[in-house]
Amino acid sequence: MDAIGGRHRLFVNSQRYYLKGDPTYDVGGLKQTVINTVDGTSFTKEEYVNCSVSGTLAFTPSLDLGALRETKKATVMLECPNGQTIVFPEASFVDDQSVSGGEGEVAFAFAGSGKAKVMMP
């Protein structure tokens, strides 16, 4: 198998944002959790989780922090080094938006509606 390397690229409504480091994401869908009981038995709990992506952006001169924070129902796309593109539908900015001026970094998190669409290369 060939080694896969490269960088992720993030787009919000077709506008590119420059990532610092690799983002963390969850494509969403059915999540199954094993619950152990005190009597030694266990059962599986199922719940549906929405898709999400989070990470750190480069604080470029063109980055509008207010507009980023107010993002609602956007199409967020993450292009991955392996050639896949993950689309997070109806995504909104969630969580805190911490800015590290010294490092030139802005933390971000988007949560989408439902399950992400994974497009294969």
Q: List, for residues 20-78, the tens digit of each pLDDT value.
A: 999 999 999 999 999 999 999 999 999 999 999 999 999 999 999 999 999 999 999 99
Torsion angle, CA of 9/117/14/83, rounded to 10 degrees? Answer: 40
Tell me how far apart the alpha carbons of residues 117 and 87 are, in angstroms, rounded to a whole number.
5
Domain ranges of the chain: 9-119
Q: List, for residues 70-97, the tens digit of each pLDDT value.
A: 999 999 999 999 999 999 999 999 988 8
Rounded to 5 degrees, φ, ψ at 60 are -80, 160
Q: What percent of the chain is modeled with pLDDT above 90?
A: 86
* CATH architecture of the domain with range 9-119: Beta Barrel (2.40)
pTM of the model: 0.85
